[in-house]
A = this chain, B = another copy of it.
């Protein structure tokens, strides 16, 4: 399996063979975590960019009374902090959903490499920009979509994003997330996540079992979700 970080970059910019070798070398320093592990940006020094190579993780915030909201789902190829290579870390906590592998690139190495390559620099900024677009779409979801629409939208987005790094097979992709976490992602309760899920199944739009999603009727799913993918991958349209 090719490096998902590189695949994601190649989706929006040109990467030369030499750069690919260098990026491959840089992503060889890794850290393995089990499922449900908390980790902190800056744990391994403040000057490391963490990149998910395999597995799923979340970035989240809690309210003082314990209510939890997941801010972002981190898939293979994603930087944990979209501004990690530039500024101070985001004010969020991190937690793995599955076993994960993190690449740990010293900031200065990544910046050196990027400074010598406008294309790569653009690619990195592009990822930050995409992270912002995903956040904005999430704001729209949480503010205005019904529970079942949020769930449908979530599946559309995650399937689409999985495609970019080659993590789909036909109309299926991994979906290693519990209903409790799903609730935290969608701003609803676990019970409601369960019920919305069942309605999507009853309507024949999806199948979800064994941590694997199959999209049965993608056009109806997208319609229900009011999913407009232009907020993702906009350069490689």
Contacts and interface: CB of A to CB of B under 8 A. Distances in A.
A191 interface: no
A122 B187 CA distance: 34
Nearest to A145: B63
B135 A135 contact: yes
Nearest to A133: B91
A108 interface: no
Nearest to A138: B139
Contact of A139 (B71, B125, B235): B71
Interface string A127-159: 011011101111110111100000000000000
Contact of A226 (B64, B125, B133): B64
A144 B134 CA distance: 18
A140 B61 contact: yes
A69 B139 contact: yes
A90 B68 CA distance: 28
A57 B144 CA distance: 20
Contacts of A86: 125, 129
Contacts of A211: none
Contacts of A143: 69, 142, 186-187
A82 interface: yes
Contacts of A87: 122, 125-126, 129
Contact of A144 (B69, B135, B231): B69
A67 to B, nearest CB: 4
**6 closest A-B pairs by CB:** A143-B187, A142-B142, A69-B143, A67-B144, A135-B135, A69-B140
16 contacts: A63-B226, A64-B226, A65-B226, A69-B139, A69-B144, A71-B140, A83-B125, A83-B132, A91-B136, A91-B230, A91-B231, A128-B128, A131-B132, A135-B139, A142-B143, A143-B186
